[in-house]
Structure formats: structure tokens, C-alpha cells
């Protein structure tokens, strides 16, 4: 998929990995719609880049449908990147009793069901596109985590949600292959995003030092660089790509 001139939506695009992806796509000439629950940051980024912003909670089916519809009005939607997600730390059971159900359900709703909502509505919009010379109509890029494979103590909800995203990737690519729509997932390691921003600098440096190479936290533009490559490389389909500096997470 050629990025220049394409219509794209980045869900969770107001900050972190999503913001970097919005910037990278816009720099490469895409017409980008930013979708996020954070209206303040999303509108500011949209104003800066002269991009459209739409408020969107990925748990709300109608909001996702409307966000994708807004993006598609700008042209044939060819690129959809979902970076929306959050985390929760709690053991499956302990001295205080079993894991609370509500936060587990919330993490699944945002990270897994939310990703599925974006995927299904974006793909549905792409099916109506005119195929290019290679028969391609669109590309969907989802975001998982290495926690899908190396879940740590206290990550039962987060790992389950991200494991679900990984599990959807190949069957989604197979489902959509007849329409020329590719589906891939990026599984980042430790990245310098708002989820880690609350930690003291010393703690952040210690986390980065645990990465084999390079010995630092990943930078959001590095995620965005890979997302753009996934969009452009037509033989990448049905894959989950770890982006982690060879990190394998220990139990804790």
C-alpha cells in the first residue's frame, strides 16, 4: 500500500505510539484521521498537523463505526492502525482473594474487543475500495505486546488481552485475503510511552538497561517506522512482529 495520498485512521492516535504513527503517516503524505478518547490531546495534534480528529472510545461500537466513517469520507480508507490500549496489575489470586472481575473485563474490553471493533469496521470500509494493480484494498495494523508471550507476575489481564490480539491476526488475515486486505500485528517491548511516564527516571533507566540491545526504552517513532513498513510491504500478512530489542521478560 502506497502511503502517499492514502487515507488512514489511527485509533489511540493522540499520544504515545499512536501519536508517533500519526506523525509518520502524515509526513509520508497520508490523509490521517486521529481517533482517541483524549479529546484535548487529539484536537491539539489535529490542529498542529491539520488533520481531522474524532472522539472515540473503542469499547463503544457506534463510536468506532462513526470514527471509521469519518475517515472514509476523506477518501477510500486504505490504512487502519489501532494503538488504543491500557494496563492493569493484579495477580490471579492472593492473600486478599481472587482477581477482581471488573478490571479484567475492562482490560479485555479496551485492548481486545476494542481492537476487534476497529479491525472489523475498518475492514468493512476497505472491502468497497477499488483494488490496485496487485489486488490490494487495504492494510490493518494492530498493537499487541510482548506480554502476550512473556506475561509477568500481575499481568494476567493485560497478557490475556494482548494474547487475544495476537490470536486474531492470522485468522483475520485469512478472512480478508479474498478482498486484498492485509492484517498484521506489532508486539512492542518496553517503550517510552505515557504508560511508563509516571515512573521515576531512575526506574525507567533501569527498565531500559534490561533490554539486550539497544540498552534503552524503545522510542515511539521506532514503532511508527515499523508500522509504515508493514503498510508498504505487501508480503507482510498474518504476522505478529516483536519489536523489543531481543528482550524476553522475566517472571517479575
Q: Which residues are catalytic?
A: 158
Q: How far apart are CA 16 and CA 114, in angstroms?
A: 17
Under a CB-based contact definition with an 8 Å cutoff, are residues 244 and 191 in contact?
Answer: no
- DSSP character for 111? I
Q: How far apart are CA 23 and CA 38, in angstroms?
A: 17
Cell of 30: 497520508
Phi-psi region of 100 (alpha: psi -120 to 50; beta: other; left: phi over 0): beta
Q: How far apart are CA 64 and CA 229, in angstroms?
A: 25
E strand or H helix at 160: helix 156-176
Beta bridge partners of 182: 139
Q: What is each CA distance from 30 to 118, 139, 174, 180, in whole angstroms?
A: 19, 13, 26, 20
Amino acid at each position: 500500500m502506497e502511503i502517499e495520498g492514502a487515507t488512514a485512521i489511527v485509533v489511540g492516535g493522540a499520544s504515545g505510539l499512536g501519536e508517533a504513527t500519526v506523525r509518520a503517516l502524515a509526513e509520508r503524505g497520508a490523509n490521517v484521521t486521529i481517533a482517541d478518547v483524549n479529546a484535548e490531546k487529539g484536537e491539539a495534534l489535529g490542529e498542529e498537523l491539520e488533520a481531522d480528529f474524532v472522539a472515540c472510545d473503542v469499547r463503544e461500537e457506534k463510536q468506532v463505526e462513526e470514527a471509521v466513517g469519518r475517515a472514509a469520507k476523506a477518501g477510500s480508507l486504505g490504512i487502519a492502525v489501532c494503538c488504543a490500549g491500557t494496563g492493569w496489575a493484579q495477580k490471579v489470586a492472593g492473600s486478599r482473594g481472587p482477581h477482581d472481575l471488573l478490571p479484567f473485563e475492562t482490560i479485555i474490553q479496551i485492548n481486545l474487543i476494542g481492537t476487534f471493533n476497529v479491525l472489523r469496521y475498518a475492514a468493512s470500509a476497505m472491502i468497497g475500495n477499488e483494488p490496485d494493480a496487485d489486488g490490494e484494498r487495504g492494510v490493518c495494523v494492530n498493537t499487541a505486546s510482548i506480554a502476550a508471550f512473556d506475561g509477568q507476575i500481575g499481568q494476567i489481564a493485560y497478557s490475556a488481552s494482548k494474547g487475544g490480539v495476537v490470536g486474531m491476526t492470522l485468522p483475520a488475515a485469512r478472512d480478508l485475503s479474498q478482498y486484498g486486505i492485509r492484517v498484521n500485528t506489532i508486539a512492542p517491548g518496553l517503550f517510552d510511552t505515557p504508560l511508563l511516564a509516571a515512573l521515576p527516571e531512575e526506574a525507567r533507566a533501569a527498565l531500559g538497561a534490561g533490554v539486550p540491545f539497544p540498552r534503552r526504552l524503545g522510542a515511539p517513532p521506532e514503532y511508527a517506522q515499523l508500522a509504515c513498513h508493514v503498510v508498504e510491504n505487501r508480503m507482510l500478512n498474518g504476522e505478529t512482529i516483536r519489536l523489543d530489542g531481543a528482550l524476553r521478560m522475566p517472571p517479575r
